Amino acid sequence: MTADALHPVTGLDDVVHQRVRLGILTIAHEACRVEFGYLRTQLQLTAGNLSQHLGVLETAGLVALEKGYEGKRGRTWITLTPAGTHALAAEISRLKQLIARVTLDDQP
């Protein structure tokens, strides 16, 4: 059996597919550059929880973190890396394949 013949679910990336990390990547893609506090609010996370997920994505090379100041307040900005953009596109492609296979209208 070739890789193309496998079910689309086998191509989902565990790092990307996790709900919070998929949300981070999606928002970062939409915004090009997103501030930590905005992500925390939009995803309804604690700062510690968001930091852990960002650490996983940064270790995987999918996001870059930039620390700096806005006025006197410390800020962290998140951007997708080229690898992050590719991983998000691949994940969305697999999800679209899964959606195409499921026809809920045929269900009783």
Tens digits of residue pLDDT in 69-91: 888 888 999 999 999 999 999 99
Any domain includes 8: no
Task: Note down the domain range covering 56.
Answer: 13-100
Q: State pTM to two decimals.
A: 0.84
CB contact at 8 A, 31 and 77: no
Any domain includes 59: yes
Tens digits of residue pLDDT in 12-29: 889 998 999 999 999 999
Tens digits of residue pLDDT in 35-61: 999 999 999 999 999 999 999 999 999
Any domain includes 4: no
Q: Inter-axis angle of helices 19-31 and 36-43, to 10 degrees?
A: 130
Q: What is the CATH number of the domain that holds 88?
A: 1.10.10.10
CB contact at 8 A, 34 and 27: yes
Q: How many distinct structural domains can be found in the chain?
A: 1
